[in-house]
Structure 1
Amino acid sequence: MTGQPVKRSYAGAALDYLGARYVGVGPEECSYTIQAIQIPMRDGVELAADFYKPELPDKQAPVGLIMIQCCYGRGAGISFPNARVFAARGYQALFVSTRGTYGSGGTFDPGSNEQSDSQDIVVWMRQQPWYPGSFATLGPSYLGYSQWALLHDPPSDCVAAVIPVGPHDNAWHAWGTGSFRLDRASWSDMMSKRDAERGSFLSRLSSIPGLSFLQSSELEEAVAGLPLEASLQKYFGDKAPWLFEYLKHPNVDDAYWTSRRHHTALERVKIPILLVSGWYDTFTTQTMHQFKYLRARGVNVSLIVGPWTHVQGSGLYSMPEIMDFLAEHLAKSGKYNRSPARVFISGSQEWRSMPTWPPATRPTTLYLQGNRGISSERPAQDASPEETFVFDPLNPTPIIGGNQMSSGGRVDDSAYADRSDVLAFTSEPVSEDIEVLGIPTVHLIHASNPPFADLFLRLSEVDAQGVSHNITDMYRALDPSRDTSQPLKLDLQDCAHRFRVGTRVRLIVAGGCFPMYARSLGTAEDRLRSDKTVPQKHTVTVAGGVSQLILPVGAAV
């Protein structure tokens, strides 16, 4: 079923004008029409879509076609940065709702159908009279995941892709640390209420990605409840059944995840790709992996990383670059005159262009000291031998800022240093600028009693006023059978930060990061299905310099 094309309304034109000013793109070139259509899939399901057609002078063809797949609806808020802004500049755009969402038939099962459905959309597009012979894909977050699913088997007529904050591997995000990432519960709650757009204004707001802080305290209580799975089951009932499938499959290599992992796309794709991320995005680790892997293969891939959270990194602050990228690789009417990597350096608060990421660096070792110090001087063998703390599962160490789904970012995390369940190793003020570019690594001689425990590490900066701000971090559920006489080698997330003269380096060591990850209960029982908890005493050995923070330091600045 296909509707009649509808001209853009005056209200829509006003929204587009104000939105374009906000994202910093040039003036419009035309208006456009929107046509509601249904796209048949191979199994008989039909997907709802809107086709945006620019209103151009006679005989002037659109400059290109953009395909977008989205599970968050097709309303003005989500369609502006993904379709409307391009349609007003001469592009056709096909904006498709994911199976089981917002008018599309079938059942929503996150990540499982995008690979086949996206191929069917392409087959259908090729049969349309308006199809120009090639297309690009675009969209952030889940929309980016849908692009990787398509690129698992890249169509020959797909000529470019713009993928902001987009994961390619759902298993990696859910279970890559060994502990379940609990933003899958808050995201599932949002998606289980996706019909809220027909409800109250508040419920409509709560369904917008990035605004999950409007969710009820009942979900917070459910996430904090034990046993975790049973507590979530009580809250969700028969809603969000996919969440409980996630919980059943902690092994990322389980066959369940096969259709939800698209590393094969990184191995096969050859087209130009623009990646956008933020240092505090939920999927930064995956985006950086994508760039490095594609770059090593010789793919024409570009990277932008700003001081952004997930929502901020979704393309809103990089629209001029996206326009230039599409002008070169789709419209064939311009050039993307930017370096392959453009990153924001926190501390110095500057953007820097680079031929690749990470740049050449030298490892600089800082040693953890007794009395919770950290220094370039190796401590003596007979120095204070160890530092300890206790993690209590019933009062878990909270997450403060960082790479959260709907909030987080760079924040004041000074409170960590005042907690008894945290070790905050802090240096003296640095005497010269230190620029960290890449992945910091921690070598840690660590033991826990009982051995069932997790580690959360964070690199922060303490300013001259004694206020600490986060830079990068990591999380890992530890192997209880590990050899504790050997150092754990733990990589933090990529970062770009300059420690200015007078600031101090801080390494946070904790046993939890709640409610970002399901906490360790301290027992051999399943952390998702047990309510038995045991506090865990963590011991970090520092004597002789066996525990170290290794920073990738750039050339003198």
Structure 2
Amino acid sequence: MIEPPVKRSFAGAVLDYLGTRYVGAGPETCSYTTQAIQIPMRDGIELAADFYEPELPHGERETPTGLILIQCCYGRGAGISFLNARVFAARGFQALFVSTRGTSGSGGVFDPGSNEQSDSQDIVVWMRQQPWYHGSFATLGPSYLGYSQWALLHDPPTDCVAAVIPVAPHDQAWHAWGTGSFRLDRASWSDMMSKRDDEKSSFLSRLANIPGLSFLRSPELERAVGGLPLEDSLQKYFGDRAPWLFEYLQHPDVDDVYWTSRRHHVALERAKIPILLISGWYDTFTTQTIHQFKYLHERGVNVSLIVGPWTHVQGSGLYSVPDKLDFLGEHLTKDGKYKHPPARIFVTGSEQWRSMPTWPPPTESKTLYLQENNSLGFKPPVPDASPASFIFDPLAPTPSIGGNQMSAGGRVDDSAYADRSDVLVFTSEPLSEDLEVLGALSVHLIHESDPPFADLFVRISEVDAYGVSHNITQLYRALEPSRDTSQPLILELQDCAHRFRVGTRVRLIVAGGSFPMYARSLGTVEDRVRSDKTVAQKHTVTISGGVSQLILPANPAD
């Protein structure tokens, strides 16, 4: 039985009005109806969806502005539908809002990332058969919704004419194991997803698992993530929930066939349509979004990039609705007004937006050398400078403070690192002139660890005139035990755009872990997720001769 369309309620109109004021979307042009739909897949299961149809005023164009396809695993409730469907329907767009297989009324079993490629193709086939389909569509949605777009673009439909993809990965393996250590936000995300339809869970319990609200996170989950062996500890907590999490843990090799259906770099090779990418400097997927832009831009694809001073939740859509409306209006109707240059970048420190023809822009390298007495300087250190060292204890791991976490991330005061004995902190003298960095900073270290089974967490922060440190960019890497420690270890940090003002200081932070952002190194040859044996690791960095350096991509205009 097909449900009839339902007109927007008064309460819905009020919610849309208040939401519109918050996100700056501008005035509505119409109301809309919503129709519940079931979409058949090739294997017989059906996906639940809502179809939004604008109620166009008399005398307006006969057809809607365009059709937007949204695939979502987080339900179709008021909050998420406002940002991804309703705000567009109230401005003349059709929107098909589909729940991912195994979620929110859709049939089948939820297995993150594995079915989106085939299911999205089946949705498009079904759309083409509908009387309201006018021949083309665009795709939209952040995070997992964006991943679903990359899965569709693995085999791009010819009638898909544009895509808006904020804060989203195209490669699930890269996120889970790309550093060589397991990304533990996969556990908190899996906890949220496995409880999404649990009517017995309290409101606060469900709220606690929304990314960005870590202050409500379950202490039981925190204890499970901190337990050893990690896999056993998580198994006791999850029971039979989130079976995919344990598949992740059992496949640390990103090239394993398990990940094939969850990796969509092919989409970057095949996509030809205009694409708007949106990210934040403190998003959990920033590195992948920057990679997507560079790859597509080099191919000559019409791709635009916006990077703000945002976390994952902030970058998902709270501050970019006007850009999305302009972009979709331009590429669905050819009479919109999206005229921005390829890259629009927020430069922290100067706190201003910049328009650029590409990202990163041309820069010149400036080198800061690691010095004795925990300092950084523009001149090489003395030839006999003593090495610096610290000990990482897996049973008391160095904590994650801010940065690119799914929750509890962002630009924060990370001064506490300077007081820890398991962290090396190198800080420059106050700068005598502004220094602006644009792109990927790199750290070159002559480094060794005993035992050789170890990780490195490297961060660049800024210390202000009051001695308070705030993070800018970072990198995590599990080290190759057999590497040649006589050669520099080259670590390329995540891209950033930051202006160090006169009087501020550059700080380099080096640690052996960042927990609970990443599964800690246990210091042994054994599997880090299945062992409870731990060995403390002594890290040593050679300083003499200027062999350990921080390379800055400086703005040549400074």
Q: TM-score, normalised on structure 2?
A: 0.98
Instruction: Measure how far apart 1:4 and its partner are.
Output: 1.1
Match of 2:243 in 1: 241
* 8 Å CA contact 2:161, 2:331 repeated in 1: yes
Q: Specify the code of the residue in structure 2 equivalent to 1:23.
A: V
Q: Specify the code of the residue in structure 1 equivalent to 2:41.
A: M
User: Quick one: distance in 2 between partners of 1:487 and 1:207?
Assistant: 41
Once the two structures are superposed, the pairs formed by residues 86-101 of structure 1 within 5 Å of their partners are 86-101=88-103
* 8 Å CA contact 2:192, 2:206 repeated in 1: no
Matched residue of 2:446: which SS? strand
**Cα RMSD between the aligned structures?**
1.0
Instruction: Measure how far apart 1:198 and its partner are.
Output: 7.3
Matched residue of 2:333: which SS? coil
Q: Specify the code of the residue in structure 2 equivalent to 1:2.
A: I
Distance 1:91 1:215, change over 3 A: same
* 8 Å CA contact 1:65, 1:136 repeated in 2: yes
Instruction: Measure how far apart 1:333 and its partner are.
Output: 2.2
Match of 1:535 in 2: 536
Instruction: Measure how far apart 1:26 and its partner are.
Output: 1.0
User: Quick one: distance in 2 between partners of 1:162 and 1:500?
Assistant: 34
Instruction: Measure how far apart 1:335 and its partner are.
Output: 2.1
Distance 1:213 1:255, change over 3 A: farther
Instruction: Measure how far apart 1:214 and its partner are.
Output: 2.2
Q: Specify the code of the residue in structure 1 equivalent to 2:220.
A: E
* 8 Å CA contact 1:341, 1:357 repeated in 2: yes
Q: Specify the code of the residue in structure 2 equivalent to 1:420.
A: S
Matched residue of 2:318: which SS? coil
* 8 Å CA contact 1:72, 1:208 repeated in 2: no
* 8 Å CA contact 2:282, 2:311 repeated in 1: yes
Q: Specify the code of the residue in structure 2 equivalent to 1:347.
A: G
* 8 Å CA contact 2:475, 2:492 repeated in 1: yes
Match of 1:259 in 2: 261
Instruction: Measure how far apart 1:212 and its partner are.
Output: 4.6
Q: Specify the code of the residue in structure 2 equivalent to 1:244.
A: F
Instruction: Measure how far apart 1:204 and its partner are.
Output: 4.1
* 8 Å CA contact 2:191, 2:209 repeated in 1: no
User: Quick one: distance in 1 between partners of 2:455 and 2:163?
Assistant: 37
| 1:525 aligned onto 2:520 | no
Once the two structures are superposed, the pairs formed by residues 17-416 of structure 1 within 5 Å of their partners are 17-58=17-58, 60-196=62-198, 200-382=202-384, 384-416=385-417
1:109-137 deviations in Å (ceiling 9; x for gaps): 00000000000000000000000100000
* 8 Å CA contact 1:442, 1:489 repeated in 2: yes
Q: Specify the code of the residue in structure 1 equivalent to 2:185.
A: D
Match of 1:508 in 2: 509
* 8 Å CA contact 1:35, 1:50 repeated in 2: yes
Distance 1:207 1:476, change over 3 A: closer
User: Quick one: distance in 1 between partners of 2:422 and 2:205?
Assistant: 37
* 8 Å CA contact 1:459, 1:471 repeated in 2: yes
Q: Specify the code of the residue in structure 2 equivalent to 1:328.
A: E
| 1:11 aligned onto 2:15 | no
Count of residue pairs the alignment pairs up: 556
* 8 Å CA contact 1:309, 1:407 repeated in 2: no
Instruction: Measure how far apart 1:370 and its partner are.
Output: 1.0
Gaps of 5+ in 1: none
User: Quick one: distance in 1 between partners of 2:443 and 2:263?
Assistant: 29
Instruction: Measure how far apart 1:339 and its partner are.
Output: 1.2
Q: TM-score, normalised on structure 1?
A: 0.99
1:129-182 deviations in Å (ceiling 9; x for gaps): 000100000000000000000000000000000000010000000000000000
User: Quick one: distance in 1 between partners of 2:482 and 2:22?
Assistant: 53
1:468-503 deviations in Å (ceiling 9; x for gaps): 000000000001111111110000000000000100
Instruction: Measure how far apart 1:415 and its partner are.
Output: 0.4
* 8 Å CA contact 1:266, 1:293 repeated in 2: yes
Match of 1:447 in 2: 448
Instruction: Measure how far apart 1:208 and its partner are.
Output: 3.5
Q: Specify the code of the residue in structure 1 equivalent to 2:178.
A: G
Matched residue of 1:330: which SS? helix
Instruction: Measure how far apart 1:244 and its partner are.
Output: 0.3
| 1:544 aligned onto 2:545 | yes
User: Quick one: distance in 2 between partners of 1:212 and 1:33?
Assistant: 36
* 8 Å CA contact 1:439, 1:552 repeated in 2: yes
1:339-364 deviations in Å (ceiling 9; x for gaps): 11011111111111101000000011
Gaps of 5+ in 2: none
Matched residue of 1:315: which SS? helix
* 8 Å CA contact 2:189, 2:209 repeated in 1: no
Instruction: Measure how far apart 1:22 and its partner are.
Output: 0.6
